Amino acid sequence: MDSMGIRMRTMVGLLILGMLFLPACATKRYWGPSMGRAADSQFTPVEALEKAFRSLSYEPYRGKSVWIDVFTLTDRFGEESPEERFLRAWMKEKLVAQGARITAQRESAEVLLDVKARVFGIHQTRRDFIPLLYWEGTDGLVDLRLTAYAKGSMEIIHTQDLQAEARYREYYIFYIIGPIKRFH
């Protein structure tokens, strides 16, 4: 038997071994709404948010008292969506860390900051390459429009667009080995 034959036999042996995995199955499951929003769906947009804020210019807000309003196109049950509450709190911490003051009253602010989130969310794709590979992809996307107004005159003193994306992948080989996690 030549080396090619040995190689073929080895491959068939591996294939048979692989067949043992065929009935195996790994699938990510979220049982919403009792489980709440999946962790992947939370940390990927937050990672994108972190990336987007690296290019934010804090100069117009430093040493000023700021009031933040956040507007999104996301689903809501009450007056404010979870994304809006989170974004407002995030912005507040970022601005305070850079020397701005956040006011409790809109009337007492020097700067009114409108944050329009054109996009703040995820995009999920699943692929099955039966029986070899299965992966779940979660893309966190952020596209914000910041508009700062001078309270009183209501002149626009600063505008900025922030965009970023974070990609998270989980791979399963033979539907059982994994997850192999990758953050892009």
Partner 1 sequence: MDDPWKGSPRRILRGHFAILLLGMLSACATVDYLPPRQGTSADLQRILSQSLEFQMARLAWEPQGRTVDLQVRAWGGFQQPLGLEKYIRSLFQEWLIQRGGKIGAGDLQMTVLVSAFGSGVTRRDLSFRNIPLYYSEDLDAALEMAIWVRDRDGGLLHFWKGQQKSDTTDAFLMRFLGPLH
CB nearer partner 1, residue 31 or residue 97: 31
Radius of gyration of the chain (CA): 24
Smaller CB separation from partner 1, 23 or 97: 23
- Considering only residues 76 to 95 of the shown chain, the ones binding partner 1 according to CB under 8 A are 76-77, 79-84
Question: How many of the chain's residues bind partner 1 (CB under 8 A)?
Answer: 56
Helices vs strands, H then E, count in the chain:
3, 6
Rounded to the nearest 5°, which phi and psi values hold at 3? -65, -30
Q: Which is nearer to partner 1, 60 or 98 (CB)?
A: 60
Cα–Cα distance between 61 and 136 in angstroms, integer?
Answer: 40
User: Is residue 179 near partner 1 by the rule CB under 8 A?
Assistant: no
Sign, CA torsion 98/53/144/70? negative
Residue ranges of the alpha helices (H) in 79-149?
Answer: 82-97
Judged by CB under 8 A, the chain residues 118 through 177 that form the site for partner 1 are: 118-132, 139-141, 143, 147, 149, 154-156, 159
Contact 130/22 with Cβ under 8 angstroms? no
- Residues at the contact surface with partner 1, assessed by CB under 8 A: 1-2, 4-5, 8-9, 12, 30, 32-33, 37-38, 41, 45, 69, 71-77, 79-84, 114, 116-132, 139-141, 143, 147, 149, 154-156, 159
